[in-house]
Chains A and B, each alone.
Chain A
Amino acid sequence: QKEVEQDPGPLSVPEGAIVSLNCTYSNSAFQYFMWYRQYSRKGPELLMYTYSSGNKEDGRFTAQVDKSSKYISLFIRDSQPSDSATYLCAMSASAGTASKLTFGTGTRLQVTL
């Protein structure tokens, strides 16, 4: 079993839809949770950073962490074609220079007109 599981998709939604992306994990030591967006042939771009359980909102993006269920989500409201990319969840047990990230496999999202 992988430490972090993520549905690879592809996920196709119409413009304006609400998108839900999810990851599950098995390592209860993970405390720091991140979502990255990666466009084709580019490096990952940090979208959201969350510590421990709870919700965090930033514009059209909302990140949720449920540590009791070992489940994290990223919601995208009013999705746009420019949101089409691969979304990677990542997590670590510690912050700072000791923060080796464990990634999900990424979910490919396609937002259609």
Chain B
Amino acid sequence: GAVVSQHPSWVICKSGTSVKIECRSLDFQATTMFWYRQFPKQSLMLMATSNEGSKATYEQGVEKDKFLINHASLTLSTLTVTSAHPEDSSFYICSAPTSSGNTIYFGEGSWLTVV
């Protein structure tokens, strides 16, 4: 079964509204989680590194005020897309290294459609 869970799997929102996506590690604690974005038929692009108890680290070109990340606990990180626009429509995926650090598991992903 899944070791990293994302919710919701699908979300449609109106332009200008905000959407929150949750990423939970199951059965293990993750001090760090990663958020990716994937456009159709393209590879995953790292957006930011979520750090429990501290600020997220954003990749170059990613607007931190638009993509708010909160790592509230050792098993939960959230990504909030603020003032969403149609160009934000994409597949958002989180990942987390296991406690041993040897492997990285991905969530099932969240499809965001902004209309």
Interface set of A (CB-CB < 8 Å, partner B):
34, 36, 41-46, 49, 88, 95-101, 103-106
B75 contacts the other chain (Cβ, under 8 Å)?
no
B67 contacts the other chain (Cβ, under 8 Å)?
no
Interface contact A34-B44, CB-CB below 8 Å: no
- Sampled A-B contacts (26; CB under 8 Å): A34-B103, A34-B104, A41-B109, A42-B108, A42-B109, A43-B107, A44-B44, A44-B93, A44-B106, A45-B106, A46-B104, A46-B105, A49-B102, A88-B43, A96-B101, A97-B30, A97-B31, A97-B32, A98-B32, A99-B97, A100-B49, A101-B44, A101-B104, A103-B43, A104-B43, A105-B42
Closest A residue by C-beta to B10: A41
B77 contacts the other chain (Cβ, under 8 Å)?
no
Size of interface on B: residues with Cβ below 8 Å to A: 25
Residue from A34, A43, A45, A97 with most neighbouring chain B CB atoms (10 Å): A43
CA distance A88 to B16 in the complex (A): 34
Q: Which of B31, B32, B106 contacts A46 (CB 8 A)?
A: B106
Ordered nearest first, which 5 A-B pairs have the shortest CB separation?
A96-B101, A97-B32, A43-B109, A43-B106, A43-B108
Q: A42-B109, A45-B106 are in contact. Are A97 and B101 (CB under 8 A)?
A: yes
